[in-house]
């Protein structure tokens, strides 16, 4: 016996029937993006390691301990499986001069990789939908990207302020953060005994991130820390008020969370998260904010930007826990071909039906043949199809197919001509259960 190989821990297979849920979600996402004028981008999964080190900041969870990095075996280049989407999109924007004629609204969907401890809602390969709006400085686009998430919730049957909550903060500008930073370090130093090793280490490298600590005693000290919001100058304040007034006008409930700092260093001004109570510790479904310094930091011509990333696994878990995922789609018809000699003619008819948009599954024969009529009907029934299409010897001789209901036990069977499939294909897919309606 050869050893069976298992997949990589924390990296999941997506199989039927779950894959149908993801396909449904993908369609809803694309539909919303199209209505909002966002254009799709696909960037490589592998990027130079330096992109993330420079983009996200050295002293971040991701860069310090979560990246899958390796040397290219052929030339030694340092490469990394992307842990998030923004850095790659910004790199591509710079490389292809995408902003030469003004701003861009972009979105992406795809896998991300982080070496974390796998648990519910936290995996080593996971998937994100994200948007990046590049080139516009105003609070209007900050509000727009948040409203876009709200539109997505509505598209998926989630209610903001109930199933998902918006938390909002402003990180101000670098000079305001510097003043706050001094006050923050002083605050934490005065209570150094409550800090864990990680907080002590970050106290001087990145004290803002200490606010983000999950350690209880550190959290307690963070609770009373000086608030960045109180250090904002008039311009940052006006920007934040601009975002808030649009959200209020559009009826988006939110909570000001002065401790919301986000995991990457690149953010400034507006930051936000959409959180839920239904996923335990992994409650953040979507997070984002403004990152006006990143494009320049990655070597481009300075330009403002704002965006967010949303975890698809967490969104699916949330929809599942609330029972909001649709039932997987079922075929309209299941085709049974009892007479092997009829197979070619049956395939021609099925091809025409599928071209007309009808969802048809063919009963495929096993090594022992197609099986008894009874077992074929059992399979037909289990497929969820509404009709069985029977391509028997008599039918074929008459150039016809029999349509039998799989849902209404005593509904009479009907025969339809194979030469004029287009006459009855629309009725077949329309949704009735009775062959007479076809």
Tell me which residues touch ligand ATP (CB under 6 A).
Answer: 84, 114, 116, 121-123, 126, 128, 263, 282, 284-287, 309-311, 313-314
Tell me whether residue 30 or residue 122 sits nearer to ligand ATP (CB atom).
Answer: 122
- Compute the least distance from the CB of residue 145 to ligand ATP, in Å: 13
CB 324 within 8 A of CB 158: yes
Tell me whether residue 231 or residue 266 sits nearer to ligand ATP (CB atom).
Answer: 266
In angstroms, the CA 365 to CA 363 distance is 7
For the chain, the helix, strand and coil percentages under 3-state DSSP, each to the nearest 5:
40, 20, 40
CB 170 within 8 A of CB 269: yes
Range 171-184 burial, b when 16+ CB lie within 10 A, else e? bbbeebbeebbebb
- Compute the least distance from the CB of residue 71 to ligand ATP, in Å: 24
The count of other CB atoms within 10 Å of the CB of residue 51 is 18
- Compute the least distance from the CB of residue 52 to ligand ATP, in Å: 12
Tell me whether residue 52 or residue 387 sits nearer to ligand ATP (CB atom).
Answer: 52
- Compute the least distance from the CB of residue 334 to ligand ATP, in Å: 37
Residue nearest ligand ATP (C-beta atom): 311
Tell me whether residue 114 or residue 416 sits nearer to ligand ATP (CB atom).
Answer: 114
- Compute the least distance from the CB of residue 236 to ligand ATP, in Å: 22
Question: Encoding tokens for residue 141?
Answer: 């686009």
SS3 93: helix
CB 375 within 8 A of CB 382: no
Tell me whether residue 317 or residue 403 sits nearer to ligand ATP (CB atom).
Answer: 317
* Among 261, 394, 296, residue whose Cα is nearest residue 339: 394
In angstroms, the CA 17 to CA 349 distance is 28
**Residue 384 phi, psi dihedral angles, 5° rounding:** 85, 0
- Compute the least distance from the CB of residue 53 to ligand ATP, in Å: 16
DSSP character at residue 17: T
SS3 220: helix
Rg of the chain over Cα atoms, rounded to whole angstroms, equals: 28
- Compute the least distance from the CB of residue 84 to ligand ATP, in Å: 5
Tell me whether residue 82 or residue 314 sits nearer to ligand ATP (CB atom).
Answer: 314
Tell me whether residue 211 or residue 389 sits nearer to ligand ATP (CB atom).
Answer: 211
């Amino acid at each position: 016996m050869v050893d069976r190989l298992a997949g990589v821990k924390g990296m999941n297979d997506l199989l039927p029937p779950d894959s149908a849920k993801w396909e449904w979600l993908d369609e809803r996402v694309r539909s919303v993006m199209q209505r909002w004028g966002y254009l799709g981008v696909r960037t490589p999964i592998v990027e130079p390691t330096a992109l993330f080190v420079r983009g996200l900041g050295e002293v971040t969870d991701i860069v310090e301990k979560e990246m899958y990095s390796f040397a290219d075996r052929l030339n030694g280049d340092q490469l990394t499986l992307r842990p998030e989407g923004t850095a790659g999109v910004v790199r591509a924007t710079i490389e292809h001069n995408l902003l030469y004629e003004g701003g861009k609204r972009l979105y992406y969907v795809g896998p991300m990789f982080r070496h974390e401890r796998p648990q519910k809602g936290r995996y080593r390969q996971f998937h994100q939908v994200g948007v990046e709006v590049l080139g516009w400085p105003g609070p209007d686009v900050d509000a727009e990207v948040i409203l876009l998430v709200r539109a997505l919730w509505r598209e998926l049957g989630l209610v903001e302020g109930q199933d998902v909550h918006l938390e909002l903060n402003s990180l101000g500008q670098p000079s305001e953060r510097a003043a706050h930073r001094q006050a923050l370090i002083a605050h934490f130093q005065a209570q150094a005994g409550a800090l864990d090793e990680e907080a002590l280490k970050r106290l001087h490298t990145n004290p803002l991130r200490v606010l983000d600590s999950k350690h209880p005693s550190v959290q307690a000290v963070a609770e009373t820390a000086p608030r960045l919001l109180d250090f904002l100058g008039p311009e940052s304040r006006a920007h934040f008020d601009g975002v808030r007034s649009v959200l209020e006008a559009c009826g988006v409930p939110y909570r000001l969370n002065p401790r919301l700092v986000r995991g990457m260093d690149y953010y400034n001004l507006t930051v936000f998260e959409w959180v839920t109570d239904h996923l335990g510790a992994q409650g953040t479904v979507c997070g984002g904010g403004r990152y006006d310094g990143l494009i320049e930091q990655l070597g481009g011509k300075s330009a403002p930007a704002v965006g967010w990333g949303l975890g698809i696994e967490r969104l699916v878990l949330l929809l599942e826990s609330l029972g909001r995922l649709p039932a997987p789609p079922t075929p309209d018809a299941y085709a049974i071909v009892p007479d092997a000699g009829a197979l070619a003619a049956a395939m021609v008819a099925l091809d025409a039906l599928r071209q007309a948009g009808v969802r048809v599954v063919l009963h495929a024969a096993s090594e022992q043949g197609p099986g008894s009529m009874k077992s074929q009907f059992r399979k037909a029934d289990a497929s969820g199809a509404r009709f069985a299409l029977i391509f028997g010897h008599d039918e074929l001789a008459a150039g016809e197919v029999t349509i039998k209901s799989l849902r209404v036990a005593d509904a009479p069977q009907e025969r339809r001509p194979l030469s004029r499939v287009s006459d009855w294909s629309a009725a077949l897919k329309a949704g009735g259960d009775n062959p007479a309606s076809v």
